[in-house]
Amino acid sequence: MNQVEVLAIWGAVTGTIGTVAGLLGLWLRFKQHSLDKPKLVCDAYFEFDSPNHPKHKLTVRSLGRRPVIIDEIKYFITPRNLVHRITKLWQHKKGRWLFNQELRQKIKLNEGEKTEIKISLPNGLDIAEIYKAEVVDQTGRIWPIKWQSHSTLVKIATQETLDELSLENEKRIFSAIGYRLGKRYYIQTNFNTKPTRMSVTCGKAFWFFDLKKYEEKFIDIKTLDSKYSRDRERGMVNDIFFKNIEITEKKLQVKSNEIDNMILTTLALYSPEAKDLRQLVSYLKITNELVRTGSNAKDFAKKFKKSYSDDLNTSMILEYTIPLLKSALLSLQTSISMLDEVNPQHIEERYHRVIVEESKTDDLYLMIEKNILKLISKNLDLSKEYFDILSSLRRLEKIADRAVSIAKLLHFAQMGGDIVQS
């Protein structure tokens, strides 16, 4: 290798080193320049302190060397109207479907500092309706907030009332409400003496991370085992029973309306066909049957309790009443069990079983009617009470009729054919 070649190699090496050093220097200058700029990292956290007291908050960290003054929080709302959803970007530019949370006091963040800002939305605006949020500083610069999807927000940022219980007797008032608060479950109990305005309500709260443990605890509270058992007088138990019936019927009506609205929305948006259409039409009718069943159950319980007494010949009444109640309940349970069944043979078997049980209720009701007419002929003074008993038991027979209608609709949904209702 001659001197010229050595010098050429040396020049190439030094040139490469110089280029790398220059690039490294440029990178360092760029990094230094970026550090000198303001920089915010924004996250959203969702939790509950108690029902109706969410602790949803934003955490804002400053990582840049220049201070930043936070001016407001901007929330982007998902429009409820389909047309508005399609044009939401244009709507936002016009200032629509936006909510600006102005801070009472401007927040200044220096490098390495962080702050927490409570998410404060107006009444009527559900947090699950927010699909994006931004921090706006005093210069007008926008900093995106790491926000969750709608499905995730429904799970972690919303609350739902799961169970309600109210117990009352001459001396004491007791209530319990169960909630889903985000991913956790909560039971609030309250106790008070009665009657007195001066007494102070006291209670206890229970938190659960597991749904099963929550359900077990609420069942324990419902049954009033251990220390509350002394308060379970007959009158109190009856009051609890009928209040729970009222609550259940109202819940049934609410859920029925929700399901109907979901079905109508699905029909309007997706135009289902074939089996999907049969199922949706069937379910739309089934909700009405279930509401009517709930109404019959409530009427039976109230009328039977009001008319039933020791003055009546209870043995002759109960001889066929208990089998009638069991048969009506079995027919309803069997019809509902068809909902998750996909095997055609099993569907047919359960369908025919419902028909058989409904036929039993007809026979049992006729036997009860025959017995009560005999009792009336022997004691006319109690004829009104006996007729009221008979009227209440008619509601059980109607429940079995509703069960047949549900079974026919589910049979149509799975197997096809014609819709046939009782």
Cβ count within 10 A of residue 180: 19
- Together in a domain, 373 and 420: yes
- Together in a domain, 189 and 334: no
Task: Render pLDDT for 363-411 as a digit per residue (tens, 0 to 9).
Answer: 999 999 998 998 888 888 888 888 888 999 999 999 999 999 999 999 9
Measured distance CA(199)–CA(192) in Å, rounded: 7
In 36-114, where does DSSP find H-type helix?
A: 82-86, 88-93
Of 123-137, 151-165, 208-222, 231-245, the least confident: 231-245
Task: Render pLDDT for 158-217 as a digit per residue (tens, 0 to 9).
Answer: 999 999 888 776 666 778 899 999 999 999 988 776 555 445 557 788 999 999 999 988
Residue 9 falls within a domain, yes or no? Answer: no
- Together in a domain, 261 and 342: yes
| Cα dihedral 241/246/249/254 (nearest 10) | -140
Q: Compute CA distances 184 → 25, 51, 88, 177, 206, whole Å.
A: 53, 11, 33, 14, 11
- Together in a domain, 113 and 193: no
Residue 4 falls within a domain, yes or no? Answer: no
Residue 217 falls within a domain, yes or no? Answer: yes
* Per-residue pLDDT band at 420 (split at 50, 70, 90): low
* Per-residue pLDDT band at 297 (split at 50, 70, 90): confident
Among 123, 155, 187, the domain boundary falls at 155
Measured distance CA(225)–CA(220) in Å, rounded: 6
Q: Containing domain of residue 120, as a range?
A: 40-155
- Together in a domain, 372 and 244: yes
* Per-residue pLDDT band at 309 (split at 50, 70, 90): confident
Collapsing DSSP states into helix, strand and coil, what is residue 402? helix
Residue 19 falls within a domain, yes or no? Answer: no
Q: For residue 243, what pLDDT is reported?
A: 57
Q: What is the DSSP letter of 281?
A: H
Residue 58 pairs in a beta bridge with 44, 117
Q: For residue 94, what pLDDT is reported?
A: 87
Could you tell me if residue 200 is left (phi over 0), alpha (psi between -120 and 50 degrees) or otherwise beta? beta
Cβ count within 10 A of residue 232: 15
Q: For residue 421, what pLDDT is reported?
A: 58
- Please tell me the total count of domains within the chain: 3
Q: Compute CA distances 66 → 35, 36, 69, 337, whole Å.
A: 8, 6, 10, 65
- Together in a domain, 261 and 393: yes
Q: For residue 398, what pLDDT is reported?
A: 92
- Together in a domain, 248 and 396: yes
- Together in a domain, 213 and 359: no
Q: What is the DSSP letter of 170?
A: S
* Per-residue pLDDT band at 354 (split at 50, 70, 90): very high
- Together in a domain, 91 and 116: yes
CATH of the domain at 144: 2.60.40
Q: For residue 419, what pLDDT is reported?
A: 66
Cβ count within 10 A of residue 1: 7
Q: For residue 197, what pLDDT is reported?
A: 46
Among 112, 139, 155, the domain boundary falls at 155
- Together in a domain, 309 and 286: yes
Measured distance CA(322)–CA(317) in Å, rounded: 9
Stretch (H or E) spanning 104: strand 98-109
CATH of the domain at 374: 1.20.58.220
Among 155, 170, 195, the domain boundary falls at 155
Q: For residue 319, what pLDDT is reported?
A: 86
Q: Token pair for residue 280?
A: 């949706």
CATH of the domain at 206: 2.20.25
Residue 366 falls within a domain, yes or no? Answer: yes
- Together in a domain, 240 and 364: yes
Residue 12 falls within a domain, yes or no? Answer: no
Residue 22 falls within a domain, yes or no? Answer: no
Residue 324 falls within a domain, yes or no? Answer: yes
Query: DSSP readout, 284-312?
Result: HHHHHHHHHHHHHHHHHHHHHHHH--TTS
* Per-residue pLDDT band at 34 (split at 50, 70, 90): low
The better pLDDT of the pair 235, 76 is held by 76
* Per-residue pLDDT band at 229 (split at 50, 70, 90): very low
- Together in a domain, 221 and 357: no
The better pLDDT of the pair 420, 358 is held by 358
Which among 149, 179, 125, 177 has a CA at the least distance from the CA of 46? 149
Mean pLDDT computed over every residue of the chain: 84
Which of 2-6, 10-14, 68-72, 229-233 is most confident? 68-72
